[in-house]
Amino acid sequence: MKSNKLLYVIIVLLLLIGLVWWMHDKTPESAAVPPIQKVMGKPVAAAPMVDQKTINELQKQMQTLSNEMHQALTTQQGMTQKAITQLQAQIQTQITKMQGEIQQLQNEIQKK
């Protein structure tokens, strides 16, 4: 009877150890404590080293790129519209020319 209780206790302990180990592996990295730095002797959580000047410069660069992209798109649309207008004019010229030729052929057929 004693050996059964001892075996039961050992199995339960092994299961608990396994469960704790398994849960330890499942702990997300974000749960880790952030590194602590000392500033003037007082502990302070580490902060990213980005100043407002850098942020403003990046915002300016983003705005410049946005403006350049908009200008390029507008220019491309303008060029496309100009090309379409030119093609329409060429097509209309060809249609007019062909209508004239058809009219001449009809006139020649009527004369014969």
**Confidence band (pLDDT; 50, 70, 90) for 48?**
low
**What residue numbers bound the domain in which 98 lies?**
78-112
In a domain, 106, yes or no: yes
- Local structure of 75: helix, strand or coil: helix
Is residue 53 pLDDT above 80, yes or no? Answer: yes
Instruction: Say if residues 39 and 47 touch (Cβ distance below 8 Å).
Output: no
In a domain, 101, yes or no: yes
Is residue 103 pLDDT above 70, yes or no? Answer: yes
In a domain, 36, yes or no: no
Q: How far is CA 20 from CA 15, 25, 48, 61, 81, in A?
A: 9, 9, 34, 50, 69
In a domain, 98, yes or no: yes
Residue that is written with structure tokens 């090309």 in the block: 83
Instruction: Please give the tally of structural domains in the chain.
Output: 1
Is residue 46 pLDDT above 60, yes or no? Answer: no
In sequence order, the 6+-apart residues with CB closer than 8 A to the CB of 37 are: 43, 44, 45, 46
- CA-to-CA distance for 81 and 22, rounded, in angstroms? 65
